[in-house]
Amino acid sequence: MEKISFKDGVSETLLINLYFRSLENKLPKPLLKDEFSGAVVDKIDYDFSKFDSSDMSRIGVIIRAKYFDDEIIEFAKNKERIVVVQVGAGFDTRPLRLEHACPNAVFYDLDLPDVIKFRDELVPKAKQNFSLACSMLETAWMDELVGKYPQTPFIFVLEGVPMYFEESEMKGFFLNLAKRFKGEVALDLLNIWCCKMMAKNHTKHDTLKYIKDAKTKFGIDDPRDIERWDDEGRIKYLKTGIMMDMYLNRWPFKARLMRFIPILKRSCTMSVYGLNLAQ
């Protein structure tokens, strides 16, 4: 087993997602089938058991992952080829999960160099699967990809990522994509209330309390505000999925009660945006 450590707490959150996917796959009827994450968990020397009582985050992670998998599968339909970029890929096994459902997809896993180092050692690669060791806020990787696939539609997935960046950083990221790519961006968003509460009560969160320096920074109440970041109309809001409205039988009772309070119901959502769809 390999003992791993990261330079910042945000990167460590990837272990939460990995573990919850491995647990889900052990269920008789998993919502998300992931036969790969368990093998990765078994290679890592880490106390995953501290997350075992995190029932709210556990189902949220699974619903979010399935939503993005389904969006990629839909995006891939009727296209000769697509490029899928996992931004903040962590140890996500999505390329392995989807390579048969999306044989026309090329997958890129982008994360910080220390994360990619461990990812390349621990997570097997799909047939068309490459790594990008850099910050999402850089633009050299964007120029590299658009140069390599100038006519190919892209879908960028930010899973468990946006909340840890400042709004100005997310805006700059979106605008840099809009300057270069045609396709979609799929990401999860906290509302402003949830972002503030998680930042203020970090030590009480069911998973983040175990991780230092993973403080939330970005929340947004109206997902259409991201569309308004671009004066040139290149970013188009497409849809939002409300996490707590999905797979109600899988949520604990307290979550089903929370759905009746709008600000709680919409605390965590997944949204999809188009890039240069009119072109």
- What pLDDT does 12 receive? 86
pLDDT of 204 > 80? The answer is: no
Q: Which domain holds residue 184?
A: 9-275
| SS3 call for 96 | helix
Rounded percentage of the chain residues whose pLDDT exceeds 90: 86
Tell me, what's the pLDDT at 265?
95
CA distance from start to end of the chain: 50
Domain count, the chain: 1
Assess if residue 1 is contained within a domain: no
Domain-embedded: residue 2: no
pLDDT at 279: 66
Q: What pLDDT does residue 93 have?
A: 98
Could you tell me if residue 3 is inside a domain?
no
**45 in a domain, yes or no?**
yes
Residue 37 lies in a domain: yes
Which is it for the CA torsion 36, 39, 45, 50, positive or negative? positive
Q: Is residue 212 assigned to a domain? A: yes
Domain with residue 220: its CATH number is 3.40.50.150
Distances from the Cα of 77 to the Cα of 73, 102, 148, 156, 253, angstroms: 7, 8, 22, 16, 37
Q: What is the pLDDT of residue 214?
A: 78
CA distances from 30 to 123, 219, 230, 261, 270 (A): 21, 30, 39, 28, 20
Q: pLDDT, tens digit, for every residue of 82-129?
A: 999 999 999 999 999 999 999 999 999 999 999 999 999 999 999 999
- The pTM of the full predicted model, rounded to 2 decimals, is 0.95
The fraction of the chain above a pLDDT of 70, given in percent, is 97
